Amino acid sequence: MPKKKIVILGDSTIDNRVWLGKEKYRLFVDNTYPFLSPVVDFLAWFNPFKPKSVVENLREQMPHVEFIDRTNDGFTTHDVLHGAYKDKVFGRGAHRFFPHENFKPLDSDELKKADQIILSIGGNNFREFIQAALTIHNEQNRKAYIEKEYPKVFEKLRSDYKEILKNIAKVNPKANIVLMTQYYPALHQKTLLGTNIYDFMSILGTILKKGDALDTIVEVMKDTYNDILQFVAKDKSMSNIKLTVVDVTSSLNPNLSENFEGQIEPSDIGGKRIAKMLSHVVQHNAKSGKQIYRFAPGFFNNADQSFVHTTSLNAKTTISPVHPIAMPKPLSTFKKIGLIIGGATIVGTGFGLILGGSFIVAGIASIAGGLLGSKIAKVSTSSVNDRVYRFKTDVKHTTNKEMQAFGKQAAKAWIPYLKSCFPFSGAYQNEDFNLGYAQELERKAKPKH
CB 134 within 8 A of CB 146: no
Residue 51 pLDDT: 79
d(CA 41, CA 120): 30
Q: Edge-to-edge strand order for the sheet containing 242-246? A: 65-71, 4-10, 116-120, 176-180, 242-246, 290-295, 308-312
Q: What is the β-pairing status of strands 308-312 and 102-103?
A: unpaired
Q: What does the DSSP assignment read for 330-362?
A: PPPHHHHHHHHHHHHHHHHHHHHHHTTS-HHHH
d(CA 255, CA 382): 11
User: Hey, which residues does 307 pair with through a beta bridge?
Assistant: none
d(CA 39, CA 29): 10
CA atoms within 13 A on the CB side of 281: 32
CB 319 within 8 A of CB 393: yes
d(CA 178, CA 292): 10
Q: At what angle do helices 197-208 and 123-134 cross, to 10 degrees?
A: 90
- What Rg value do the Cα atoms of the chain yield, rounded? 24
Contacts of 35 (CB under 8 A, 6+ apart): none
173 closest CA partner among 111, 248, 128, 266? 111
Q: What does the DSSP assignment read for 156-176?
A: HHHHHHHHHHHHHHHH-TTSE
CB 7 within 8 A of CB 110: yes
d(CA 189, CA 257): 7
Residue 410 pLDDT: 43
E strands in 30-143 = 65-71, 84-85, 102-103, 116-120
User: Hey, which residues does 266 pair with through a beta bridge?
Assistant: 260
Handedness of CA 139, 142, 147, 148 (dihedral sign): positive
d(CA 376, CA 338): 11
Residue 154: count other Cβ atoms within 10 Å of its Cβ. Answer: 17
pTM: 0.75
d(CA 251, CA 327): 9
257 closest CA partner among 269, 248, 247? 269
382 closest CA partner among 331, 336, 424? 331
CB 345 within 8 A of CB 424: no
d(CA 56, CA 69): 10
Tens digit of each residue's pLDDT, the chain (449 residues) = 678 999 999 998 888 777 676 555 555 555 565 666 666 566 665 666 677 889 999 999 999 999 999 999 889 999 999 999 988 876 554 445 677 889 999 998 999 999 999 999 999 999 999 989 988 989 999 999 999 999 999 999 999 999 999 999 999 999 999 999 999 999 999 987 788 999 999 999 999 999 999 999 999 999 999 999 999 999 999 999 999 999 999 999 999 999 998 899 999 999 999 999 999 999 987 666 799 999 999 898 776 788 899 999 998 898 889 999 989 887 655 455 555 555 556 555 555 555 555 555 555 555 555 555 555 545 444 445 677 888 874 334 444 554 444 444 444 444 444 444 443 333 333 333 344 444 554 555 555 55
